[in-house]
Structure 1
Amino acid sequence: MLSSSVAHPSVNDLKRLIVERRITYPASLQQAMRLLLGNPGVIAFGTLRSVAQTCNVSETTIARLASHSGYSSFKEMQGAFRQHLVLIATPHDPPFEQQRPL
């Protein structure tokens, strides 16, 4: 379970914590988290029921996954994944019209 010193991690924070082995998951939660990290749209745009079905686990397991990952609820974890999709979809360079001429 995630330490209380890190509240509401971003998806990038979550990935880092997993890589650093500061958060580990039991087998069923690990399977679901792998799927969600590989396919963030599943949780970003899904319901608790559809996410559970896609991960082939119960709704309770997805709720436990959220809690185990440092979120207060499925909705909070879903919000983090939505924000992640916004961040990776947002261009980091200014639009062409705003660029200065050479």
Structure 2
Amino acid sequence: MTTPLTLTPGRRPDGTPRLVVGGEIDMSNVASLAEALDGGSGPLVLDLTAVEYLDSAGLSVLFGHAERLELIVTPLLEPVLTVSGLSGLVTVHGLDYDAPQP
């Protein structure tokens, strides 16, 4: 059974692509996230503030695109990103990130 996952593309006012992800990212649906990330190039703001769960399959996809990602996350995900080492490769913003939103 596939776990619910929503992917909502958009752009910040400065034109930078933004993808809002919601639900749980796990091995049952990670292909959808991978497809969304593979479909673009250049910088991408990935808003994970509505993500409730992120497993190693999801982390693997994020690592594969680390050079172009900027993440917005909740305190729930910050330790996962730190322990995995991903936070050392990408810019991570907390909920207080006040960048222009679409």
TM over 0.5: no
Query: Which structure carries more relative contact order (alpha carbon 8 Å, separation 6+)?
Result: 1
Higher helix share: 1
Greater fraction of residues in strand = 2
